[in-house]
Chain A
Amino acid sequence: MNIQNILRKLRRELDWLTIVQLAISLSIIFIFLILPVFLLVVNSFYSGGTITFKWFERVLTSREYVSLEPLGGALFKIERTGAGVLLFIMEGYDYGIILNSILVALFVTIFASIIGLISALIIARYEFPGKNIFRILILVPLLATPFVNAFVVGKVLGRQGVLNFILRDILGLPYTFIVGGLVGIVIIQTLSFFPIIYLNMLSSLINIDPSMEEQAENLGARGFTLFRTITFPLSLPGLAAGATIVFIFSLEDLGAPIALKGAFADDLAGRVISYRIYQNIISTQGGILKIDPTTYALSVIMLLFAAIGFIAIKKYVSLKTYAMLSKGGRWSPRVRKLSWKGLILVYMFLVPVVIIASFPQAGVVLLAVTDWATSGAFPSTTTMKNLMALVEEPDIVRAIGNSLTYSAAAVFVIVLVGTSTAYVVARKRLPGIDILDIIVTIPIAVPGIIVAVGYFILFSQGIFSGTPFDIFENPGLLLIFSYTVRRLPFTARAVFAGLQQTHVSLEEASLSLGASRVQTFARIVIPLIAANIIGGGILSFVYCMSEVSTSITLASFRPEQGPITHYMSSIIGGGKVGVISYAASLGVLLMTAQIISMAVSNWILKQRVAFLGV
């Protein structure tokens, strides 16, 4: 095709609607995602006007960051105290900040995969009493209660925790368990993230054409052979997608390290990349940027690991989308009744899983409605004081107001940008349009803390000083846009799914009847995908409300402009035990908002959103 043809093609496809949609979307994504991350990468190779590798060198050669010999800690250690008490210590070895992060993320991915995989297999393939209750309970950990759920785990398993209270003071045994450090993080993150694997795996399993397994059985495969040769390979894309997301989430998680380090003075828990970057940022003094440049190198390393996972999964999943290839014949799900032996095995697995996995969330509620935070091992009395603080305590009321404002504003922009990009990607045959599709999905792979570091580079100096975008003066506006880019994929995906279900001829019919592109968009497209826009928007809204990484960093110089997650982190990370129940109340508020909005958006979209899928 010659240049003239390409120009002609561009002229036809680029009507005003498309140009406006592209211009708004691309400039927002460029300024608030690509440019900051790009500047971060540039800065990591930059020192006093020259290109240098010294920041990376410093990070990669220092034992502080990478150490092949443990610097301390122990995976499992027994000590005897002077009083004759046996101490069982589980905290993990310290291999330096970078290796710690990677090891934690790997273990979380492995454990979450095992639990998620088995749970999904049971739910997808067997029928048993109470199945629907398990289906709901298993999703409880997805209710984000940043910091507080980690605090609950610490409160139960820590040195002064409930477990030790039972052993020592009730049973009178001379044993004390100390679970914390990196092991603590692995436990907290595994409990929070395994439902992601479960959901991805479940949707893979349900989407396998039953005739595939029936054919294999017909040829003589059964039991584990059937699973190993047919079921598992066909559901592998779902597992791989879920595992990658868990890996990235674990890498960027700040909730667990901040809670353990802040509330329990657990130093080893703070020795991960995400926490180090966070600390380096917030220890900068206001007004001038004074971030240790090794922070940039650390950030780039974290970004690199996330990106590798993301790219690998993109390639792998697109290669292996054969699971849904055939869709003919009888579509009866392969659900079997269990023998009583099987039933016992299933309960022996599922009951502990749902109890252990939902205890952090249950603990958050308990903290909010009782005096558990200060009463020792067990709560002594119920109270409404903490929940009333949501409407009475001025700081909390302000934080809630901030969160609502930022999230609402962000959702407005998200819907605008998400709908525009999804529409352009789904309908326009522009060269390079696939890149836009990838750009919209990228935020899943960019850790929030990386976005925050990028903002500190871009919005702390130069032309942005003294403007509404000045990070030291006005974190609010920046938070809105950081929420926008970080939560964009949810709405964009939902709208894209809607467009895929809407035949393009519905728009063509309108065009051929004389309606312009804008008229067609307003009268045909928008009404047809309204459900998807609203559903995606609601999901994005709660994900904005519970956003952690950029909230707690960008607002650190202007706490009064901080959203609720910032408030929660300042309480728990600051070890303000007396008011931890307030953070728990905010956690309850967040959980309520999430339950309501998921129910509403599922009802509107009339389907379960396989959310958090790549």
Chain B
Amino acid sequence: MVNVRLDNVVKVFDKVIAADHITLTIKHGEFFTFLGPSGCGKTTTLRIIAGLEYPDEGRIYFDEEDVTEYPPYMRDTGMVFQNYALWPHMTVFDNIAYGLKIRRLPMNEIKERVYRVLDLVKLRGLENRYPTQLSGGQQQRVALARALIVKPKVLLLDEPLSNLDAKLRIEMREEIKRLQRELGITTIYVTHDQEEAMVISDRVAIMRQGRIMQIGHPREVYKRPANLFVASFMGRCTILKGIVRRSGEITELSVDGVKILGVPSATDMNIREGSLAVAILRPEEFELVKPHTPSNEFEGVVEWSAFTGPYTQLRVKVSDKIKILLDIDPDSQIKVGSTIKCYIPYSDTIILPFEEGREITYMEES
């Protein structure tokens, strides 16, 4: 168990920046996730930690040891690949035992440890099968067992669940979390699925174009996004752009003549009277009945509605430029074309400074 430190790591492929001065520390025993859209550099960062890529600049430390120049086989990491990378010419047993055989452990110890890890991942009885004879979920467990058996300093998981179907994915992420807690191993996880990241992680790093946009506890990055990108990447939201009328703990925005009050995501943000800012409205924070807490009130025509099962999505046109996405009780019988009122507390209205160069659509769905 170690803590992993990246210091100013830079990696450029041709002209694409995969890692742009990344500095962060992953604490020992922590479940840490790199989250971001495809091509944001999250996998590259993981591979740099594994030693499968070398950074152009910067250093990597395991505890106080500088491992930057170590080849992968000297780093003592356990990696689970997106495609599992099980060797088709070896049985499950041989796949899992490989790392121990390389370390020249006595055969009886290898056997004992393989069976113990087979129990851990619930694969006992399948040790003589070949990978092609296993289901996707079972292959996943073999890959996990193969990485865990060598008792690595760090467990690295590169989108391990992306090849599984939806149901199995939910089952396996709980399984991975359980194993990680039981073994207390420092774990670095890569995914593009924000829900998966929030469920599984102690801390999340949101990446974009090689840069870390925000690091924090899942609740923190969801409720208090550092910027527009994080806000829109972490779940669905309506983004409204306006001019700041009054700044402070409660900031007032004027959007197309409509007054919106909210809380800045952080206190040190550059939100001044007269400057441009955006309000982030999460659809699940809306109420149709006026709450007791001070709230923004919108009135508009329902343009579109869709039943999704747990809730019904509505799009409400408040003005020509303001359209709001909200979730309501699936049993309510609101028809398209009807006029409704909806409310969102000031405390759940997130205010962020506007970023130049980022196209604002009045509503974003993800």
Contacts and interface: CB of A to CB of B under 8 A. Distances in A.
Interface in B143-163: 143, 146-147, 150, 156
B80 to A, nearest CB: 9
Given A508-B81, A512-B73, A519 B102 contact: yes
B72 interface: yes
A595 interface: no
Interface string A412-440: 00000000000000000000000000000
A44 to B, nearest CB: 42
Interface in A485-513: 503, 505-506, 508-513
A15 B79 CA distance: 22
Contacts of A510: 87, 98
Contact of B85 (A12, A506, A515, A516): A506
Given A1-B56, A8-B54, A511 B71 contact: yes
Interface in A1-28: 1, 5, 8-9, 12, 15
A514 interface: yes
A114 to B, nearest CB: 44
B16 to A, nearest CB: 15
A512 B50 CA distance: 7
A190 B135 CA distance: 53
Given A1-B56, A524-B87, A505 B102 contact: no
Interface string B59-103: 000000000010111111111011101011100000000110011
Interface residues of A, number: 24
B52 interface: yes
A528 B98 contact: no
Contacts of A512: 50-52, 72-73, 75, 77-79, 147, 156
Nearest to B89: A527
A324 B1 CA distance: 48
A511 B54 contact: no
A454 B316 CA distance: 82
A513 B56 contact: no
Contacts, number: 76
A8 B70 CA distance: 12
Contact of B99 (A5, A12, A514): A514
A419 to B, nearest CB: 17
Contact of A515 (B51, B56, B73): B73
A509 B81 contact: yes
Contacts of B99: 513-515
Interface in B23-58: 50-52, 54, 56
Contacts of A513: 73, 78, 98-99, 102, 146-147, 150
B73 A506 contact: no
Given A508-B79, A512-B72, A515-B98, A5 B85 contact: no
A515 B88 contact: no
Nearest to B75: A512
Contacts of B147: 512-513
Interface residues of B, number: 31
B73 A516 contact: yes
Q: Which of A511, A512, A514 has the most CB of B within 10 A?
A: A512
A383 to B, nearest CB: 50
A517 B73 CA distance: 9
Contacts of B98: 510, 513, 515, 523
Nearest to B103: A514
Given A513-B78, A513-B98, A9 B73 contact: no
B67 to A, nearest CB: 13
Nearest to A516: B73
Given A508-B72, A513-B146, A503 B83 contact: yes
A528 B87 contact: yes
Main secondary structure of the interface of A (DSSP, over half): helix
B361 to A, nearest CB: 30
Contacts of A1: 56
A352 to B, nearest CB: 47
B22 to A, nearest CB: 18
A512 to B, nearest CB: 4
A505 B85 contact: yes
A508 B85 contact: yes
Q: Which of B83, B89, B150 has the most CB of A within 10 A?
A: B89
A246 B54 CA distance: 45
A515 B98 CA distance: 9
A276 to B, nearest CB: 50
Interface in A331-355: none
A5 B58 CA distance: 12
A9 B73 CA distance: 17
Given A1-B56, A5-B56, A514-B150, A509 B73 contact: no
B88 A528 contact: yes
Contacts of B54: 8-9, 12
B85 A514 contact: no
Contacts of B78: 512-513
A522 to B, nearest CB: 11
Contacts of A519: 102
Contact of B146 (A508, A509, A511, A527): A509
A118 B56 CA distance: 54
A508 B72 CA distance: 8
Contacts of A528: 87-89
Contacts of A523: 98
Nearest to A527: B89
Nearest to B88: A528
A511 B73 contact: yes
A508 B156 CA distance: 13
A505 B85 CA distance: 6
Interface string A457-485: 00000000000000000000000000000
Contacts of B74: 514
A9 B55 CA distance: 10
A252 B184 CA distance: 69
Q: Which of A12, A511, A514 has the most CB of B within 10 A?
A: A514
B141 to A, nearest CB: 15
A526 to B, nearest CB: 10
Q: Which of B51, B54, B73, B76 has the most CB of A within 10 A?
A: B73
Contacts of B79: 508-509, 512
Nearest to B82: A505
A511 B89 contact: no
A12 B87 contact: no
Contacts of B82: 505
Nearest to A502: B88
Contacts of B88: 528
A508 B52 contact: yes
B81 A511 contact: no
A514 B102 contact: yes
Contacts of A509: 79, 81, 85, 87, 143, 146
A362 B54 CA distance: 61
A15 B74 CA distance: 14
B81 to A, nearest CB: 4
Contacts of A5: 56
Contacts of A505: 81-83, 85
Contacts of B56: 1, 5
A377 B147 CA distance: 75
Contacts of A506: 85, 87
A511 B98 CA distance: 11
B49 to A, nearest CB: 10
Nearest to B158: A505
Given A508-B72, A512-B73, A519-B102, 16 more contacts: A505-B81, A505-B83, A506-B87, A508-B50, A508-B79, A509-B79, A509-B146, A512-B50, A512-B51, A512-B79, A512-B156, A513-B73, A514-B76, A515-B99, A517-B71, A524-B87
* Interchain residue pairs A-B with the least CB separation, the first 6: A513-B99, A505-B85, A509-B85, A511-B72, A512-B79, A505-B81
23 contacts: A1-B56, A8-B69, A9-B54, A12-B71, A15-B71, A503-B83, A506-B85, A508-B52, A508-B81, A510-B98, A511-B52, A512-B52, A512-B72, A512-B75, A512-B78, A512-B79, A513-B73, A514-B99, A514-B102, A514-B150, A515-B98, A517-B71, A517-B73
